């Protein structure tokens, strides 16, 4: 796998051309700047001088290297893993590397987004090329100094060596290297030669996290900053009628009260004053259209049962397969809305002045959000300066910059630097929720085989996107129809960790478990047999690989002792491909006083090359536990536009005493890495539900599982 | 506003605050000790955990006016340089994902281990169950607490 990458652009053009070639990032070097704390990457690319031409790597005279991590860090580990890729090919010892979070810079970087588990996948080649190009330029500089051919020079660990044993540190030739042409070809390492990639590398912010240093948006402070708390309509479909701020203004520390749209901002000396001031507001609201879960349930079921949807994929003759079936299985699966509940509530700093718009805080989409702010305030995007902070979780919530727009609008009206802080109640009730979704899945069975498959999705606001209709079992069942429909609600919804597949996987993997049971087949064998029907590469819309899927299924079944029984332990199986990664899971449960407790999960994951094993393991374990927690407990409904929960006293998140041990087995691979922040989650709920079926005989089709298990038991007793 | 004399991390500090201000916001907004995090404001998530006279306590529910005789310890105060055995265990196990809840987790763990240096698995799981981690880094928190117990005993 020796990869020579041809680079056909000039040094000056390196920045722009590499951005175009990658479709991802803008990359580069800044050889002349030492990595001192106060040094910032060059901001205005038009003003960069000949040597100061890029902003990705900085090498100091002493050879220490600063690598800027461009993408937002939400806990998925890219602030560690992305610089690892650069350092690997640059060939420097990891303990000589400092990592800094880059701010939004659309000139230097492309795609500064944390979403879809794509940061590593999209930037795998680009970041390695960046490091390799820098290394080659350093080698060329040393060769010129020694007056020998660069082919004779080697470099490793930050040291360049001549054939006669002379040595130069990277820092010794930085200035000379910067004056050289950018090489046209660079050679990337073979995976067997990796020294950083594939090695456990501790989170670069670890020291700061465990000592409580300021890192997050909520920790960001500026002199003269005013704290802001906002009162929003208490229900979706309500509008502000009128309000009195007399009591609010009487609260000690409240500076001002400002209405904007249907919202009221209270500005205070500190967070507490702003929050108290908000509570003291007396607002009257008028109802527009108030929606409830009860109404949504009826609408979505009607869409599933009586209305035609949009065909998303159709293979073979589905109607014929169903007409000729020996048996038809049909089930409806139902999910609630879900809030994201990032531990760090939404917040943002904004200082809007005539000169510029200064924003700082946690946002997964800095570029898009900066553009939205500029549009809202009728300013130019170039006037926006956005600093990224570490984020106390994302899960999709911080893809949406609604809270940044609020902060900018308030600062613009107040003519002050402000810090907007959501209370937990604000965060949970003014969310961009995982939409409630229902699936109807049907299979026609004939002669002991599945001959046809129909899946219909009915969702609030929008439907499965991209290639999801072509995920498994597309390609595995000859007669197949995927259909979707939606209802437009005034409740705001959006991406939530593994959008759509977070519940679709549950529905589908529960369904196949039931099909296996009906056919009297083993659940694992049924999946392997179906995958035998898939020809890898035959349909370009089908991006999962049958062979890779079969491997994770076999490894999970083996490591999870599928098929062996022990007293009181019940197992469930699930496998799912999402975000370009194949995952299979075996969940084990034990019943304690009639309540299922997940006691162990074994996961097998094929995500290609594992860049940072410790970080990768953390992502999968967290994804599995997150998936179990929300499948078991996540309950969120609307009554007259109001969410059923407002804080953690009524909204149940999984806690340590409820968590199983999760064992993760990564498939050894030399393939390019794929997503990891999300793919561990989708299979978890199905694995648990299938284990609950094994334990209790009850096939649960609605989440949260615990609620409907209790309901099912009550009905049986009643 | 009244002035309160507080003892935080062994130092005497004066703050000018309304009597009902929760310690959490005094630490964060007035004393620039932002390691103590805001999560829920109702004592349910544990992100704001500090030690009051050595005992793990939710700072979001403690009014500043009640604390003049208390010894307050925050994450910034358990060691000068991140070398408390619990912090070391956290680093060795590379516990955090987003990391936001971890200061609260560490404060709960240090207080718990002071009272029980040889905890069983279920004692650790129960003791830590008051602290939410939305990234669900629970397996590693559990391992780190167990490892810290060994270091401390």
Q: Which two tokens stand for residue A215?
A: 């890192």
Q: What is the pLDDT of residue A104?
A: 82
User: What percent of chain A lies above the pLDDT cut of 70?
Assistant: 91
- Region A364-369: mean pLDDT is 92
Q: What is the chain B residue with the closest CA to A627?
A: B136
Where residue A108 falls among pLDDT bands split at 50, 70, 90?
A: low
Reported confidence tier of residue A118, pLDDT bands at 50, 70, 90: confident
Q: What is the pLDDT of residues A179-198, one digit of tens each?
A: 777 787 788 999 999 999 99
Question: For residue A109, what pLDDT is reported?
Answer: 67
A624 contact residues in B (CB cutoff 8 A): 136
Statement to judge: residues B7 and B71 lie in one domain: yes
Measured between CA atoms, the residue of chain A closest to residue B142 is A656
A10 pLDDT more than 50: no
Residue with tokens 């994951």: A605
Residues ≥6 apart with Cβ < 8 Å to A45: A15, A107, A108
The verdict on B121 and B148 lying in the same domain is: yes
Between A290 and A74, the higher pLDDT residue:
A290
Facing residue for B94 by CB, picked from A216, A618, A661: A618
List pLDDT tens digits, range B111-148: 999 999 999 999 999 999 999 999 999 999 999 999 99
Which pLDDT tens digit goes with each residue over B46-95? 999 999 999 999 999 999 999 999 999 999 999 999 999 999 999 999 99
Rounded Cα gap, residues A120 and A612, in angstroms: 11
Chain A: nearest CA to B114, how far in angstroms? 18
Contact assignment for A210 to B45 by CB distance below 8 Å:
no
Chain A residues whose beta carbon lies within 8 Å of the beta carbon of residue B128: 656-657
Residue of A nearest to B90 (CA): A210
Assess whether B29 and B71 both reside in one domain: yes
Say whether both B37 and B99 belong to one domain. no
- A to B CB pairs, distance under 8 Å: 190
- CB nearest B106 (choices: A210, A270, A343): A210
Domain boundary among B25, B55, B77: B77
Report the distance separating Cα A305 and Cα A508, nearest Å: 18
Q: Let me know: does A605 contact A560? Beta carbons within 8 Å.
A: no
Read off the CATH number of the domain in which B134 is found: 1.10.150.120
Domain finish residue from B20, B50, B77: B77
Contacts of B136 in chain A (CB under 8 A): 621-626, 629, 654, 659
Residue B70's CATH number = 3.10.20.30
Domain covering A3-209 in this structure, CATH number = 3.30.365.10
Please indicate, yes or no, whether residues B53 and B110 belong to a single structural domain of this protein. Answer: no
| Whether residue A112 has pLDDT greater than 80 | no
Same domain? For B23 and B53 the reply is yes
pLDDT computed for residue A184 by the predictor: 73
User: Does residue A298 surpass a pLDDT of 90?
Assistant: yes
Note whether B94 and B64 are same-domain residues. no
In the predicted model, what is the mean pLDDT of chain A?
90
Tell me how many helices (H) and strands (E) chain A has: 18, 29
Task: Give the confidence band of A43 by pLDDT, cuts at 50, 70, 90.
Answer: very low
pLDDT in tens, A451-464: 999 999 999 999 99
- What are A645-704's pLDDT values in tens digits? 999 999 999 999 999 999 999 999 999 999 999 999 999 999 999 999 999 999 999 999
CATH architecture for residues A219-288+346-421: 2-Layer Sandwich (3.30)
Nearest CA in chain A to B29: A270
State pTM to two decimals.
Answer: 0.93
- Sole residue written with tokens 């000949």: A50
- Which residues of chain A are in CATH 3.30.365.10 domains? 3-209, 219-288+346-421, 308-336+433-717
End-to-end CA gap in chain A? 65
Question: How many domains does chain B contain in total?
Answer: 2
Percentage of residues in chain A having pLDDT higher than 90: 78
Chain B residues with beta carbon closer than 8 angstroms to that of A684: none
- How large is the ipTM? 0.98
Domain A308-336+433-717 has CATH 3.30.365.10: yes
Give start and end residues of each alpha helix (H) in B1-153: 23-25, 85-92, 102-115, 121-127, 138-152
Three-state SS at A691: helix
- Beta bridge mates, A227: A268, A419
* The pair of three-digit structure tokens given for residue A647, joined into one six-digit string: 């804080």
B137 to chain A: which residues are within 8 Å by CB? 618, 621-622
User: Based on the domain organization, do B90 and B26 belong to the same domain?
Assistant: no
Query: Based on the domain organization, do B125 and B145 belong to the same domain?
Result: yes
The reported pLDDT for the residue numbered A168 is 95
| Residue A615 to residue B94, Cβ atoms within 8 A | yes
Q: Are residues B29 and B54 in the same domain?
A: yes
- Kindly state whether residues B93 and B73 are assigned to the same domain: no
Q: Across the interface, do A423 and B42 touch by the CB < 8 Å criterion?
A: no
Q: Please name the residues in contact with A71: beta carbons below 8 A apart, sequence gap of 6 or more.
A: A78, A79, A82, A111, A112, A113, A114, A119, A123
pLDDT for res A177: 82
pLDDT reading at A51 higher than 60: no
Domain span at residue B107?
A: 85-152
Among B50, B77, B104, the domain-final residue is B77
Rounded Cα gap, residues A212 and B31, in angstroms? 13
Q: Are residues B68 and B95 in the same domain?
A: no
> In chain A, whose CA is at the least distance from the CA of B141?
A656
Mutate to test the interface with B, among A345, A656, A661, A662 (most CBs of B within 10 A): A656
């Amino acid at each position: 796998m020796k990869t020579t990458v041809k680079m056909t652009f000039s040094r000056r053009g390196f920045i722009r051309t590499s951005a175009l070639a990658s479709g991802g990032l803008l990359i580069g070097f800044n050889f002349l700047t030492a990595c001192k704390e106060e040094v910032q990457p060059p901001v205005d690319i038009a003003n960069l001088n000949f040597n100061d031409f890029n902003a990705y790597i900085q090498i100091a005279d002493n050879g220490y290297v600063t690598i800027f991590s461009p993408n937002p860090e939400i806990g998925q580990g890219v602030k560690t893993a992305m610089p690892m890729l650069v350092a690997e090919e640059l060939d420097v010892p990891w303990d000589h590397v400092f990592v800094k979070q880059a701010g939004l810079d659309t000139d230097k970087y492309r795609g500064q987004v944390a979403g879809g588990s794509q940061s590593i996948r999209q930037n795998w080649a680009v970041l390695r090329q960046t490091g390799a190009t820098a290394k080659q330029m350093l080698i060329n500089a040393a060769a010129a100094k020694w007056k020998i051919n660069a082919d004779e020079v080697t470099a490793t660990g930050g040291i360049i060596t001549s054939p006669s044993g002379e040595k130069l540190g990277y820092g010794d030739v930085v200035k000379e290297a910067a004056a050289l042409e950018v090489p046209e070809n660079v050679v990337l390492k073979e995976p067997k030669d990796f020294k950083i990639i594939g090695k456990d590398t501790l989170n670069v912010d670890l020291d700061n996290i465990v000592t409580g240093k300021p890192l997050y948006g909520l920790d960001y402070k500026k002199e003269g900053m005013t704290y802001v708390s906002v009162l929003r309509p208490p229900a979706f479909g309500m509008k502000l009628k009128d309000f009195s701020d007399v009591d609010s203004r009487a609260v000690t520390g409240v500076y001002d009260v400002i209405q904007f749209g249907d919202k009221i901002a209270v500005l205070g000396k500190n967070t507490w004053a702003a929050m108290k001031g908000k509570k003291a507001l007396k607002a009257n609201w008028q109802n527009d259209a108030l929606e409830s879960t009860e109404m949504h349930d009826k609408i979505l079921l009607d869409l599933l049962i009586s209305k035609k949807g949009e065909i998303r994929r159709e293979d073979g003759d589905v109607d014929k397969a169903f007409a000729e079936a020996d048996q038809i299985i049909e089930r409806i699966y139902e999910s609630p809305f879900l809030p994201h509940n990032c531990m760090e509530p939404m917040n943002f700093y904004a200082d809007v002045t005539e000169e510029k718009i200064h924003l700082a805080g946690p946002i997964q989409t800095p570029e898009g959000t900066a553009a939205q702010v500029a549009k809202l305030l009728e300013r130019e995007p170039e006037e926006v300066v956005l600093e990224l902070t570490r984020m106390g979780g994302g899960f999709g919530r911080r893809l949406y910059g609604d809270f940044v727009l609020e902060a900018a609008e308030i600062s613009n009206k107040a003519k002050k630097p402000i810090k907007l802080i959501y209370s937990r109640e604000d965060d949970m009730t003014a969310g961009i929720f995982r939409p409630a979704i229902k699936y109807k899945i049907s299979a026609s069975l004939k002669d002991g085989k599945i001959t046809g498959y129909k899946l219909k999705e009915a969702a609030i606001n929008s439907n499965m996107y991209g290639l999801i209709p072509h995920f498994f079992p597309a390609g595995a069942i000859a007669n197949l129809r995927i259909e979707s429909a939606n209802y437009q609600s005034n409740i705001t919804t959006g991406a939530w960790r593994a959008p759509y597949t977070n519940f679709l996987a549950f529905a589908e993997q529960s369904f196949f478990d039931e099909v296996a049971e009906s056919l009297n087949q083993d659940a694992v064998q049924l999946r392997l047999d179906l995958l035998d029907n898939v020809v890898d590469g035959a349909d370009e819309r089908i991006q999962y690989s049958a062979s890779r899927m079969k491997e994770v299924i076999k490894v999970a079944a083996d490591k999870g002792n599928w098929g062996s029984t022990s007293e009181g332990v019940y197992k469930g199986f699930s496998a799912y491909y999402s975000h370009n990664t194949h995952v299979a899971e075996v969940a084990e449960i034990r019943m304690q006083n009639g309540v299922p407790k997940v006691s162990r999960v074994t996961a097998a994951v094929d995500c290609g090359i594992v860049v940072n094993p410790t970080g990768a393991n953390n992502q999968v374990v967290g994804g599995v536990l997150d998936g179990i927690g929300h499948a078991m407990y996540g309950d969120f409904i609307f009554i007259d536009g109001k969410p059923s929960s407002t804080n953690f006293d009524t909204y149940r998140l999984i806690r340590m005493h409820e968590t199983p041990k999760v064992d993760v087995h990564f498939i050894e691979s030399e393939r390019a890495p794929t997503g990891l922040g999300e793919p561990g989650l989708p299979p978890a709920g199905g694995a648990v539900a299938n284990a609950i079926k094994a334990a209790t005989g009850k096939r649960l089709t609605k989440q949260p599982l615990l609620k409907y298990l209790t309901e099912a038991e009550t009905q049986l007793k009643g | 506003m009244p002035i309160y004399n507080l003892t935080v991390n062994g130092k005497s500090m004066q703050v000018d605050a309304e009597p009902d201000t929760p310690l959490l916001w005094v630490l964060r907004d007035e004393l620039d000790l932002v390691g103590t995090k805001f999560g829920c404001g109702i004592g349910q998530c544990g992100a704001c955990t500090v030690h009051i006279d050595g005992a793990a306590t939710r700072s979001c529910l403690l009014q500043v006016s009640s604390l003049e005789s208390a010894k307050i310890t925050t994450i910034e105060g358990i060691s000068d340089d991140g070398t408390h055995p619990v912090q070391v265990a956290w680093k060795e196990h590379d516990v955090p994902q987003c990391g936001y809840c971890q200061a609260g987790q560490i404060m709960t763990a240090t207080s718990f281990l002071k009272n029980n240096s040889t905890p069983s698995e279920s004692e650790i799981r129960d003791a830590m169950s008051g602290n939410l981690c939305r990234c669900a880094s629970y397996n590693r928190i559990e391992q780190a607490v167990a490892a810290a117990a060994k270091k401390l005993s």
